[in-house]
Structure formats: structure tokens, C-alpha cells
Amino acid sequence: MIKEDLDNARREQERIQTDLENAIERANAMAVEAEIANVELNQIINTSIDGLILIYENFSVKRINASLLNFLDLSETEAVGKKCYDLMPSSWCNTTECPLTKLLRGKDHIELDIERTRKDGVTVPFMFAATPFRGLDGAVIGMVARFNDITERKYAEKTLKEANERLERLSVSDGLTGVANRRCFDQTIQQEWTRLQRTKDFLSLIMCDVDFFKLFNDTYGHQRGDDCLKSVAKALQETARRSGDCVARYGGEEFAVIMPVTGEKSAIHIAEIIRQTMENMAITHNKSSVAPFVTLSLGVATVVPDDKITPEVLIKFADMALYLAKSSGRNRVKVWKRPKEAPPKD
């Protein structure tokens, strides 16, 4: 009986020993697999061109990849274990806007554009994305953050924006003179009309025409004609300088100046300065019957916009004044006057 018990005990011990050896072998295999997985994970993390960082809930850096270390100009030993707010101080540190704080409070994803400055002083734009890092029990114990360099994207966005702005300028500018085109004129006078209807302020319009421009073109050629129109635009721009004034090429050799919050006397004064400025340029025009140089005829109209008339009526009034200037001998300023009301009949 004793011998049998000893044999049983020996066999049980051998079985336990075998199980222990098998367990150790499995543990060793799992350790090797874990080490291989860790090496593979490190390779994946460190070969990523994006910056990656793992931060625990106490704000300490647990892991950081080569890309981000290179940007920060730090070694791994200099970064791991440091507090993230010491490593990469940000405006959100110690505030409720901190991404880690938001993730710990239940946010499941954070994505935003940020900028970071390298030690060499170069500012780099990044797309920052952060997600929760969870423990074995599923609870959030930190965050994994990715820094994607978006320099090329920002450059493309800037280039596109500048191109759109150039197209917008082209769409509202006269290609020859650089002043506003007819489309811009129509938009501006409508906008100012609507605005001044509310404020009950004056809106003045100057219409001007180059005297005998066809003769000038026929005599000196189209290139000189183009240069003449550029000079007219320059004279208008140098005079109508206020931020609200709009100088436009209305069509052909005809120009217009929209002048918000400008009374009749001021508009006439500015129109006269424009006429004199053009005279002073003394651009030769031997075929003109008015003067031996290029001159302008100008018409001025002023109204207080209301719902009884439209911008087209103001344009008509200014055009009538321009016609009067031309029919009265040219090289002069004329103003549209509202007809006096007829006296009531008996």
C-alpha cells in the first residue's frame, strides 16, 4: 500500500513537473511573441511620417515616435516620462480645452489644425488628432495623439485662395484701366442705394466722357487711345480717393464715379478737380475743337435714395447732365437740377 502511494505521488509530481515545464515553455513563447509584437509596433510607430505620442492620464509621456522626436530635437530619454505640458507647452494647457482632459471626460475624438514652432524658429502647421487610450478594463487611461504635417495642404489652400482672389478682382475690374468694370459699378450703386435708403444720406454720381475720343483714336492709333483711357482712369482715382468712392469704366470712353454720403456742392467740386487734372496732363489732341489737348465733359447728379426712384434714375439724371455739358461746348461740368414743380392751377 505504501509503495503504491509512493508511485502515485511520484507520477503526480512528474505530471506537475511536465505541466510546469509546458507552462514555462508557453510563457516563454508568449514572451517572445510579445517582444516580437513590441519590436514590430515600435518599427511601425517609428517609421510613421506623422508624429505620434502616448500620454497617460497624469500627463506623463509614455511613448513618442522618431518623427516627433526629430521635430522637437530631443532624444527618447529626454522625452519619455516628462509632462506633456513641459515638452510641448500649448495655450490649452491647464485649461478645459486640453485634449487629454476632454478625452478623460468622455470625448471620443478630437481633431483640429494647430501650429507648432521648431527650435530653429520655423512654424509648422499640423492636423492634430487625438483618441482615447484604454486599459485592460476598458477605462480611459490616456490618449494617443497624431501630428500630421499639413504644410503642403496649407500651401495649396493659400495658393487656391490667392487664385480665387485674383479671379474675383478680374471679375470686377476693367482689364485695360484697372478701375472697376461695369459689373462692379452696377453692384456698387445698388448696394450704396440700399444702404443710403436706410441712413437718408446723399448719393452723388459723376458721369464723364472723353471729348472727341474717336478722333483721338483715329489720329493717334489704338495704343495711344488705350494710354489716354488709362490716364483718364488715373485722374479719376487720384481725385476720388475716399474709401467709399467707386471709380468705374462705364463703357468705351465713358467713366463714372459713385460717391456715397456726398452732397451736390462737394460732388461738383470733385468733378471740377477731375476736369482740371485732366487738363493739366496736357495730352496732345490736335483734332479736338475744344482744346489742343485731351479734355473731359462731366455730368453730376445728387439724390437722397428712397423707394420712389431707383439707381437707374440717378444714372439717367447724371447722363442728362453729361449731355448738357457736351452740348454746351464740352470741357466743363454740368449738374442735373430737379425741375421746379409747376404752381398749382387756380
Which amino acids are annotated catalytic?
253
C-alpha cell of 65?
515616435
Residue 271, SS3?
Answer: helix
- Calculate the alpha carbon distances from 94 to 64, 83, 102 in Å: 21, 12, 12
β-bridge mates for residue 304, sequence order: none
Chain-centre distance for alpha carbon 137: 47
Q: Are 262 and 302 in contact (CB under 8 A)?
A: yes
Closest CA to 86 of 59, 51, 48: 59
Distance in angstroms (rounded) separating the CA atoms of residues 200 and 327: 33
Q: Please measure the distance between the N-terminal and C-terminal CA atoms of the chain and give it in whole angstroms.
A: 152
Q: Are 53 and 62 in contact (CB under 8 A)?
A: no
User: How many Cβ atoms from other residues are within 10 Å of residue 154's Cβ?
Assistant: 16
DSSP 8-state code for residue 336: -
Interacting residues of 292 by C-beta distance below 8 A, sequence separation 6+: 284, 285, 286
In order, the DSSP letters of 38-96 are HHHHHHHHHH-SSEEEEEETTSBEEEE-HHHHHHHT--HHHHTTSBHHHHS--TTTTST
Furthest-apart CA atoms within the chain: distance in Å: 152
Closest CA to 296 of 315, 277, 268, 320: 277
